[in-house]
């Protein structure tokens, strides 16, 4: 429907296949791009006589990237395709200016002849949703991503860093795994939700706008689109996106669970301002699930966490509620706790 693969892949091209490999979770948890999607795209690249580069940089990957590859099914896919996955942590970086600072992009991504972006349809406790644009944030290696969280704890400011990274590595093609997405408190602790769709577009923002529609978001409320408008990549009065294939109405996820932060943000301003100290959402470790792996403590960009008697404790005077601890936890031991008033009003 958008032309043959040869439009995007020339013989000899080094094509970066960029999945969402957020955390070391098995595919059935719907946290990461399903390995069958990666395998199918890889086979297309090989059919076009392209050369595959397969990689991502999830938080905490520097500690044991092979564990991420094994748990997410990427190791098995790489074996099927007869390739080796790459570690962005072992590459050099190039710095680019961003609003409020800099972003450091892996040279592996910058030097590829083309990029096929494979995001997952999911909610996000900070940016409300994660999609094609946000997935390219993974081209920033290692703990540099956490540092950007510390510089920009507010969602709208953080989205500017994400978009600054995206502008340097704009994909040639975006293929979203929306077969089984995630609702609730994504991107790692939500619940799988069957959607049954694959979304494909050359335009990452257009694709994200359709994913937002499926989930029930208004793009005007999404930090990533606000950043895109500010950067001149999107207009609020843009023409409707042309759709081909099955009618989108077949995939609208009715009663889709939004992240808790979205529910609270829709409260009237006078309620939020006057009852701010009584209305909150914050992360908390569940000691019955936690294995004391220490990944959350190591990944916290503001050092708000410490391990006490094999349970991570959080200093809420320091915590910026960025969600990094939640994202890297391999056991889903980080839960988003709401105050009593927040639960009553949400």
Q: Is residue 120 in a domain?
A: yes
This prediction's pTM:
0.95
Do 125 and 76 share a structural domain? yes
Do residue 51 and residue 119 come from a single domain?
yes
Structural domain ending residue among the three candidates 220, 250, 280: 250
Mention every residue, 6+ apart, whose C-beta is less than 8 A from residue 286: 333, 334, 335
Assess whether 26 and 121 both reside in one domain. yes
Q: Is 257 within the bounds of a domain?
A: no
Residue 242 lies in a domain: yes
Residues 285 and 238 in one domain: no
Same domain, 280 and 245: no
> pLDDT 10s digit of each residue in the chain, 346 long?
889 999 999 999 999 999 999 999 999 999 999 999 999 999 999 999 999 999 999 877 767 899 999 999 999 999 999 999 999 988 899 999 999 999 999 999 999 999 999 999 999 999 999 999 999 999 999 878 999 999 999 999 999 999 999 999 999 999 999 999 999 999 999 999 999 999 999 999 999 999 999 999 999 999 999 999 999 999 999 889 999 999 999 999 999 999 988 878 777 887 877 887 899 999 999 999 999 999 999 999 999 999 999 999 999 999 999 999 999 998 999 999 999 998 888 7
Cis check: omega of the bond before 160, within 30 degrees of 0: no
Q: Is 211 found in the same domain as 181?
A: yes
Residue 123 belongs to domain with CATH number: 3.40.50
Q: Are residues 232 and 272 located together in one domain of the fold?
A: no
Classify residue 259: in a domain, yes or no. no
- Out of 250, 276, 305, a domain closes at 250
Q: Final residue of a domain: which of 221, 250, 279? A: 250
Write out the residue range of the structural domain in which residue 57 sits: 5-250
Asked if residue 164 and residue 127 are part of one domain, the reply reads yes
Query: Do residue 192 and residue 322 come from a single domain?
Result: no
Claim to verify: residue 174 and residue 234 sit in the same structural domain: yes
The count of domains in the chain is 2
DSSP labels, 125-163: TTTEEE-HHHHGGGGS-TTHHHHHHHH--SHHHHHHHHH
């Amino acid at each position: 429907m958008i032309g043959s693969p040869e439009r995007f892949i020339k013989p000899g091209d080094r094509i970066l296949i960029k999945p969402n490999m957020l955390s070391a979770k098995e595919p059935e948890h719907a946290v990461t791009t399903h390995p069958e999607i990666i395998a199918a795209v890889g086979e297309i690249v090989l059919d076009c006589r392209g050369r595959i580069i397969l990689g991502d940089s999830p938080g905490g990957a520097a500690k044991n990237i092979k564990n991420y590859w094994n748990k997410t099914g990427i190791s098995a896919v790489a074996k099927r395709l007869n390739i080796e996955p790459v570690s962005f942590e072992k590459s050099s970086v190039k710095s680019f200016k961003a609003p409020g600072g800099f972003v450091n992009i892996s040279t592996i991504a910058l030097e590829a002849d083309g990029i096929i972006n494979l995001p997952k349809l999911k909610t996000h406790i900070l940016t409300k949703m994660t999609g094609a644009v946000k997935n390219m944030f993974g081209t920033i290696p290692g703990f540099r991503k956490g540092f950007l969280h510390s510089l920009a704890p507010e969602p709208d400011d953080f989205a500017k860093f994400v978009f600054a990274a995206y502008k340097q590595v704009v994909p040639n093609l975006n293929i979203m795994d929306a077969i089984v997405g995630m609702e609730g408190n994504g991107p790692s602790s939500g619940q799988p939700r069957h959607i049954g769709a694959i979304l494909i577009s050359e335009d990452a923002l257009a694709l994200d706008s359709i994913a937002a529609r499926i989930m029930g978001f208004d793009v005007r409320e999404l930090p990533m689109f606000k950043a895109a408008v500010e950067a001149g990549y999107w207009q609020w009065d843009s023409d409707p996106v042309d759709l081909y294939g099955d009618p989108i109405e077949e995939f609208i996820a009715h009663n889709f669970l939004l992240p808790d932060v979205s529910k609270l943000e829709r409260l009237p301003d006078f309620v939020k301002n006057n009852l701010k100290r009584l209305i909150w959402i914050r992360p908390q470790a569940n000691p019955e699930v936690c294995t004391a792996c220490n990944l959350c403590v190591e990944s916290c960009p503001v050092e708000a966490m410490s391990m006490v008697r094999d349970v991570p404790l959080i200093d809420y005077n320091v915590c910026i509620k960025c969600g990094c601890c939640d994202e890297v936890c391999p056991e889903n031991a980080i839960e988003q706790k709401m105050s009593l008033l927040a639960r009553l009003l949400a």
